Amino acid sequence: MTDDVPTSPALSAASRIAVGTGPVGEADLVAVARFGAGVELTDGAQQAIAATRGVVEALADDVEPHYGISTGFGALAMKHIPPDQRALLQQSLIRSHAAGSGPEVEREVVRALMLLRLSTLATGRTGVRPQTAATLAGMLDAGITPVVREFGSLGCSGDLAPLAHVALALTGEGTVRDLDGVEQPAADALASAGLEPVRLAEKEGLALINGTDGMLGQLLLACTDLDLLLRTADLTAAMSVEALLGTDHVFAADLQALRPQPGQSVAAANMRALLAGSPIMASHAGPDCVYVQDAYSMRCAPQVAGAARDTLAHARRVAGYELASAVDNPVVTLDGRVESNGNFHGAPVAYVLDFLAIPAADVASISERRTDRMLDVARSRGLPPFLAADPGVDSGHMIAQYTQAALVSELKRLAVPASVDSIPSSAMQEDHVSMGWSAARKLRRSVDALTRVLAIELLTAARALDLRAPLEPGPATGAVVRALREQVPGPGPDRYLAPEIEAAVAFVASGAAVRAAESALAGPLD
């Protein structure tokens, strides 16, 4: 979930994903992209690819112009290409379009877009040769990851530059990282893996780059990460409510049913389960409790996290439609026509990438407000200022909240949509673009920032719960505190805080925090 490029990926072909039996699923994509699962083309996919390749080859020498086969590209589509230059046309396309710049894109993103492009090739609608698709599958299997740069895609006509860097490596040009993350020439890596570089034939260059695979891959990775983070947000909210002597009565099922938003119901149910059996909650549950109702950041936690869940569900629906698509231009239709189309436009994916950045920012914002409340002696209901051991001498978690605030401010900037922008390109032929790749890149930063904000809330809430001793937290929240304490010590005099924050970030990002809570529950958090 960070922007660091891993140098020692744990790749393994022990598990293999079949490509061609239907759309690639989110779990399969994560397995290949993040955990190094291998791939294999099904017999049906290879047959479909071979069948439609015949359609393209029948047009290769046709005197009639066919876009991308016997013409130039984009604004050069009116340029006729003679038959003896049509293979060179494809190689030139890849070389010229591999024009990315900037930081290196993460390995998991590149593997995701490679898998999704392979999935589209496997539909048989692109007209590539079977050996081209097989070589792309072989690169994934061997852990060969082309070096792709961050800038170059406008999210229309496909993620052109990122995919072109992949296609360039397929032909034995450009640079890649091998299984161990070592950068080397593509030709050397292919040879080491026993793969022959592809000599592109008619239409193949275009078929390799004309898709929404980069932005879609990042959307699916973000959906997986946000699924975990929203469960974590319910956990950190419950810990904060408990630490602040709040009430769980507002999370009651009948109150939630008065507003039947599905995500809200799930979040409230999680919080009820997490707070069940808490001695801290029981200690102030009587009629003599002076706290009439809690602040919004506590009371409305299910409403915010629930709305984020519903947004995530919508994004997954859009991703599902895109996974079932064969995005290319031109495309070979089911009845054998080769037709131009606009299905490469990234608007559907771009919109939900932007949409998800909004709840990421808001879930972080409400988390930071709960953290600040625990640190403020005027609002923390008996906790020491900044949870410090010796306030004045010690500052406790004062600056941890500053870090949260900086992250939340950054998240708000990242929530500004990229998809409302459009810069015309290709001499005004491509005069409206989606900027979906840009939306995807900033969503990855949003996911990372949200992880860090929730980790700081968890770290702070755990310290506050310890300071409520001799009262004990509930079984689930107590299990989380104990698991965290294996990595981070409890309250005491000020110490170097940054490593503890990073340990908490890893605790959240790995799913260890949620698993610890679930170990004390009857079932998993939803």
The residues annotated as belonging to the active site are: 67
Which residues fall within 8 angstroms of residue 151, CB to CB, at 6 or more apart?
100, 101, 102, 161
Cα→Cα distances 182→4, 99, 144, 147, 185, Å: 15, 22, 10, 11, 10
Q: In what order do the strands lie in the sheet with 183-185?
A: 145-146, 175-177, 183-185
Is residue 269 packed enough to be buried (19+ CB in 10 Å), middle (13-18) or exposed (0-12)?
middle
Q: CA–CA separation, 90 vs 95, rounded Å?
A: 9
**Cα-Cα-Cα-Cα dihedral sign, residues 95, 100, 103, 105:** negative
Check: CB of residue 189 under 8 Å from CB of residue 178.
Answer: yes
Burial 289-323 (b: 16+ CB within 10 A, else e): eeeeebeebbbbbbbbbbbbbebbeebbebbeebb
28-35: long-range contacts (C-beta < 8 A, 24 or more apart)? 29/112, 29/115, 29/116, 29/217, 29/220, 29/221, 30/220, 30/221, 30/224, 32/111, 32/112, 32/115, 32/140, 33/108, 33/109, 33/111, 33/112, 33/115, 33/217, 33/221, 34/108, 34/111, 34/221, 35/10
Give the H or E element holding residue 421: none
Which residues fall within 8 angstroms of residue 473, CB to CB, at 6 or more apart?
239, 242, 278, 279, 280, 465, 481
* Residues 456, 460, 465, 467, Cα dihedral to 10°: 160
* Residues 378, 382, 386, 388, Cα dihedral to 10°: 150
Give the H or E element holding residue 524: none
Q: CA–CA separation, 266 vs 158, rounded Å?
A: 37
315: Cα separation from own chain's centroid: 11
Under DSSP, the state recorded for 38 is E
Backbone angles phi, psi at 511, to 5 degrees: 85, 0
Beta strands in 287-444 (DSSP E): 331-332, 338-339
